[in-house]
Amino acid sequence: MNFEILDKSTITEARRGVLTTAHGILQTPFFMPIATKGAVKTLSSVDMEKLNAQILLSNTYHLYLRPGMKVIESYKGLHNFMNWQKPILTDSGGYQVFSLSKMRKISEEGVEFQSHIDGSKHLLTPELSMRIQQILGSDIVMAFDECTPPNYDETLLDLSIMRTIRWANRCKEYFEKNLSLSNNINALLFGINQGGIDEERRKMHAIELKKIDFDGYAIGGLSVGEPFQDACRIVDVLNKVLPEDKPRYFMGGAKPHELVAYVKRGVDMLDCVIPTRNARHGLMYRFLHDDLNRDDFYETIHVTNEKFSKDQSLLLQKRGVIKTVFDEELERYSLGYIRHLFSVNEMLAYRLVTLINIRFYLELMQRIREGITNKSL
C-alpha cells in the first residue's frame, strides 16, 4: 500500500495521510506548484526545496514539444534535467492538447494536433502519453483523457467519457508492460474521472475506472467554467464512489477557500496555477483569520494599485505555522517598493510575489493538515 490514511476529520470528509512515491513520502492533503516547462515560473528547484514544496507538477505537452524527449532521455528523466529529486507528477498532455494546440482531431486512436509553437503535427495517443511520462520519469503518471468542456451536449459527453474509459485501459496496459523501460520503475498510475457535472455519469465513470484498478483517482473536467457549487456537488458524489483507500486528486483551479472546500469533501491532492499566475499580475494572498472554516480567512491584495505607492507595510507581515528561509527577505520589502517594481516591469516583482503566494498555499496546506488532526476542519 502506498497510501495510508492517518487521521480523519470527525466533522467533514477530510482526511490526512501519507502517500509514498519513488522520490519520497508526501503528507496529504498536499498542493502541487506548477512547473509547466520544467521550472516553477521565476523560481528554481533550489527555491522550491527552500520553500519546502513536497512535489511539483510538470506538463507532458510542453516538455514533449520543448526540449523534446531526446534531451530528457539524455538526462535520464526530468528529475535530473531540472535538478529536483523530490516527487514529480506529470499530466497526460490531454488537457493542453485541447486548450493550447491549434488544430485537434479526436479519434479512437488518440488526438492529432498541431503544435502551438511551430505548427508541427503530432498524434498523441494513450500509449505515447504513457511513453512520454515514463521517459520523464514521473512519480505519478496520469492516464490520457479528454477533459470535457462544460457546454458539451449529452451525446458528445457520453462518447467522450466512454472513450476515456477505453483510453484508461490502454494506458494501464501500456504502462505496466513497459515499466521496465521507464526512467521510474516505481511510478504510480492515476486514472481520471470525467462526466461533466452529471452525477450519474460521474458515478458510472468512477465505477468503470475502479475496475481498471489505478494507484489513485483524479477528478478531471472541473474548474472549467462551471459554478463552484456544481464542482462541490460532484466531489461529494465521488467521495462516496471512489475507493477510500486510494488518493484522490482534484485537478486544476482552486482559489484558497475552494481548496479547503474540496479537502473537506475527501480530496487529498490539488494543483493550481493561481498562486503563480496571479503573482505575475501583482495579486497577492494573505491570511486574515486562523479559522479556515470561514470563507474570508484570507484576502487578496492587488499590489499594482496606485494606493500602495507609499505603503511601507511589509510583503510578509506575520509568520504563521510554517517558516521558510525566504521569510527574512520577504519581511524586508514594502508594498510600495513592490508596487514600483511592477510599474517599471522589474522581474524581481514577479519572483517576490510568486514566493509569497506559493508560501501562502503551502502554509494553507499545513494549516489544513493540522486542522484535520486537531478536528477543527
* Residue 271 is a catalytic residue: yes
67 touching its own copies, by CB under 8 A: yes
Return the axis-axis angle of helices 335-343 and 347-373, rounded to nearest 10°.
130
Stretch that binds its own copies, among 124-132, 145-153, 160-168, 327-335 (CB under 8 A): 327-335
| Helix, strand or coil, per DSSP, at residue 328 | helix
| Minimum separation from the CB atom of position 65 to its own copies (A) | 9
- Which residues have a Cβ under 8 Å from the Cβ of 86 and sit 6 or more positions away? 23, 24, 49, 53, 54, 55, 56
**Considering the rule CB under 8 A, would residue 329 count as an interface residue with its own copies?**
yes
User: Pick the catalytic residue: 47, 91, 145, 268?
Assistant: 91
How far is it, in rounded angstroms, from Cα 71 to Cα 78? 10
Minimal distance in Å, beta carbon 8 to its own copies?
A: 39
User: What string marks each residue from 82 to 101 as x (binds its own copies by CB under 8 A) or -?
Assistant: xx------------------
Roughly what angle, to the nearest 10 degrees, separates helices 154-177 and 126-136? 50
Asked if 277 interacts with its own copies (CB under 8 A), we say: no
Could you count the other beta carbons within 10 Å of the beta carbon of residue 274?
21
Is 91 labeled as catalytic in the residue annotation?
A: yes
Q: How far is CA 317 from CA 202, 217, 285, 328, 331, in A?
A: 43, 38, 11, 11, 7
Q: Which of 105, 140, 128 is nearest to 24 (CA)?
A: 140
Footprint on residues 282-321 left by its own copies (CB under 8 A): 309-310, 312
Residue 340 binds to its own copies (criterion: CB under 8 A): yes
Per-position x/- string for 228-267, each x denoting binding to its own copies as judged by CB under 8 A, each - no binding:
----------------------------------------
Q: 91 or 145: whose CB is closer to its own copies?
A: 91
Using CB under 8 A, pick the residue from 5, 18, 22, 39 that binds its own copies: 39
Residue 214 DSSP label: -
The 15-21 sheet, strands edge to edge: 3-8, 15-21, 24-28
What is the C-alpha to C-alpha distance for residues 365 and 358, in angstroms, rounded to an integer?
A: 11
323 near its own copies, rule: CB under 8 A: no
What are the catalytic residues?
A: 91, 271
Interacting residue ranges for its own copies, rule: CB under 8 A: 37-39, 41-46, 62, 66-67, 70-71, 74-75, 81-83, 309-310, 312, 328-329, 332-334, 336-337, 340-341, 343-344, 346-348, 350-352
